[in-house]
Copies of this chain bind each other. A is one copy, B any other.
Amino acid sequence: MIANHNCKEVSIFEVGPRDGLQPEPVFIPTEKKIELVNRLTDAGCKRIEVTSFVHPRWVPQMADSKEVLAGIRKKEGVTYNALIPNLKGLELAMECGLKEVVTIMSTSESHNKKNLNMSTGDSLKEIEQINKVAAKNGVKVRSYIATVFGCPIEGEMSPQRALEIALKLEEYGSYEISLGDTTGMANPVSAYEIPKMINEKLTGAKLAVHYHKYHGLEFANNLASFEAGIRIFDGAAGGLGGCPYAPGAKGNCQTEILVEMFQRMGIETGIDLKQIYEAGEYAQTLSTLLHSRCV
């Protein structure tokens, strides 16, 4: 399939303004966040995760989510969304007029507890409720499953647990599920096998992959998932992200390189290569965590 792939187009889901900027320790002015989103829109990104509605106590960088969403230039045909941790977040997102939200939970109990302060069982219940309320209001729900390819706390994770969660999320109504390699622990074998196994069981929801940097192996991982039939790939312009408090934590897979890989393979992403490189460079100017760019 790498050769003779018969694939004309893949979809890139841009997470830079949220997952990329979120861990930045110095507050980035609202107008610069808006500028980044506008540049991503201009580059041809069709799906942009703009911000999150997590309480500012936990993620102070995203305290201006309303202002950012109000300030960006919205282009027809482009979906803008926000990460929400709970029903309260959904309400806020809907108040801002969003038609799509993103939920997150982990396969790992320890990571879920640390990240969301609840059990994975409680996270599932919350996402079920979010889906109910969202459906009533015509809002689409995309759902991340984190630590699918390994957990920094628990180590190797059970692909069966990821499958169980994915099937639940599909049942609740999430229209797209993205498998997260939260700390860059995937390899081409797991990046092939796990998405393929889960994709074969899903009957309605679409499956995406969300790799983080590991010295460039993230591109081999994306390629392996492509080989497994995945056609939706998450990336962050500039390759920003990671955790300022965890030494060695890696940024997100760099959108512009991912776009170039597919373009060189003859596969369209709808994104202009020059403009996405420029947007990535702009994103990097906003970062004080730039060292993570070279890992």
Residues of A within 8 A of B (CB): 2-3, 5, 187-189, 192-193, 196, 215-220, 222-224, 227-228, 254, 257, 260-261, 264-266, 293-294
Q: Is the CB of B193 within 8 A of A3?
A: yes
Say which residue of B254, B266, B293 sits within 8 Å of A189 (CB atoms).
B266
With known contacts A188-B223, A223-B188, A227-B227, A217–B261 Cβ distance under 8 A = yes
The CA of A188 and the CA of B3, in the complex, are separated in Å by 8
Q: Which residues of B contact A294 (CB under 8 A)?
A: 293-294
Say which residue of B187, B216, B265 sits within 8 Å of A264 (CB atoms).
B187
The CA of A208 and the CA of B186, in the complex, are separated in Å by 25
The CA of A218 and the CA of B219, in the complex, are separated in Å by 9
Q: Which residues of B contact A266 (CB under 8 A)?
A: 189
**Best-surrounded residue of A220, A223, A257, A260 (most CB of chain B within 10 A):** A220
Q: Is the CB of A189 within 8 A of B264?
A: yes
**Best-surrounded residue of A2, A222, A257, A293 (most CB of chain B within 10 A):** A2
Q: Which residues of B contact A223 (CB under 8 A)?
A: 188, 220, 223-224
Say which residue of B219, B224, B227, B293 sits within 8 Å of A217 (CB atoms).
B219
The CA of A216 and the CA of B219, in the complex, are separated in Å by 7
Residue of B nearest to A253 (CB): B216
Residue of B nearest to A196 (CB): B3
Q: Is the CB of A261 within 8 A of B220?
A: yes
The CA of A219 and the CA of B189, in the complex, are separated in Å by 13
The CA of A260 and the CA of B185, in the complex, are separated in Å by 11
Residue of B nearest to A185 (CB): B264
Known contacts A216-B216, A220-B222; can you find 5 more A-B pairs with CB under 8 A? Answer: A187-B261, A187-B265, A188-B261, A217-B257, A223-B223
The CA of A5 and the CA of B216, in the complex, are separated in Å by 22
Q: Is the CB of B215 within 8 A of A257?
A: yes
Q: How far does the Cβ of A238 sit from chain B's closest Cβ, in whole Å? A: 12
Q: How far does the Cβ of A4 sit from chain B's closest Cβ, in whole Å? A: 9
Q: Which residues of B contact A228 (CB under 8 A)?
A: 2-3
